[in-house]
């Protein structure tokens, strides 16, 4: 068996570009919870499923999991500051950020490239992460005209569609 070094794993797989999304929910007392992920992905059309992979070390994920639902805001290229504020756990971030409730009552970040509202369908442990599948309740594209925010090789970038 080959032993794969953590740094090499990160460096090599950092060559694979991802989008940047914010997973949110609201606790029963109304407190918003949020975490930034690069692992959000479409999974299935019939039934409509999406997924993401939270680290077992995340403090937000157990709180989101307990609500049984989540929303995804796919960040636009001009939302790098939003991303940094959430990753840095900026105190009072939900007072500073512009957001509105999804149909199921999860915070959606205004200006996102797209949003998806979900109920948690399944959670499967995979090494030091969970594989979370969400059943899509509703979704829409945002009004933004800029491209999506991209993360590649540890840096932020903008994807420019060639259509």
Decide if residue 107 touches ligand FMN (CB under 6 A).
no
Token pair of 66 as six digits: 């307990």
Quick check: 50 and 40 in contact, CB under 8 A?
yes
What's the rounded Cα separation, in Å, for the pair 90 and 108? 17
> Considering only residues 17-36, where is the footprint of ligand FMN by CB under 6 A?
20, 35-36
Applying CB under 6 A, among 32, 38, 48, 147 the residue interacting with ligand FMN is 38
- State the nearest-atom distance from the C-beta of 54 to ligand FMN, in Å: 4
* Tokens 């939900």, residue located: 94
H or E element in which residue 130 lies: strand 129-141
What's the rounded Cα separation, in Å, for the pair 62 and 82? 22
Decide if residue 89 touches ligand FMN (CB under 6 A).
yes
Strands of 94-128, DSSP E: 99-101, 107-109, 114-126
Decide if residue 71 touches ligand FMN (CB under 6 A).
no
Decide if residue 121 touches ligand FMN (CB under 6 A).
no
Applying CB under 6 A, among 51, 54, 134, 148 the residue interacting with ligand FMN is 54
What's the rounded Cα separation, in Å, for the pair 7 and 138? 38
Decide if residue 72 touches ligand FMN (CB under 6 A).
no
In this structure, the chain runs to a length of 163
- State the nearest-atom distance from the C-beta of 46 to ligand FMN, in Å: 25
Decide if residue 101 touches ligand FMN (CB under 6 A).
no
Which chain residues interact with ligand FMN by CB under 6 A? 20, 35-39, 53-55, 58-61, 87, 89, 151
């Amino acid at each position: 068996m080959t032993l794969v070094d953590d740094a090499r794993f990160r460096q090599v797989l950092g060559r694979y570009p991802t989008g940047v999304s914010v997973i949110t929910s609201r606790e029963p007392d109304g407190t918003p919870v949020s975490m930034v992920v690069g692992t959000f992905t479409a999974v299935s059309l019939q039934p409509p499923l999406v997924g993401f992979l939270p680290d077992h070390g995340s403090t937000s994920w157990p709180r989101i999991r307990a609500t049984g639902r989540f929303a995804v805001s796919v960040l636009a290229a001009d939302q790098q500051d939003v991303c940094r504020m959430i990753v840095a756990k900026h105190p009072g971030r939900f007072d500073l950020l512009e957001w509105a409730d999804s149909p199921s009552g999860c915070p959606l970040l205004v200006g996102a490239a797209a949003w998806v509202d979900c109920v948690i369908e399944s959670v499967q442990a995979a090494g030091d992460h969970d594989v979370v599948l969400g059943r899509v309740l509703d979704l829409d594209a945002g009004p933004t005209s800029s491209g999506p925010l991209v993360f590649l090789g540890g840096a932020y970038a903008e994807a420019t569609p060639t259509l």
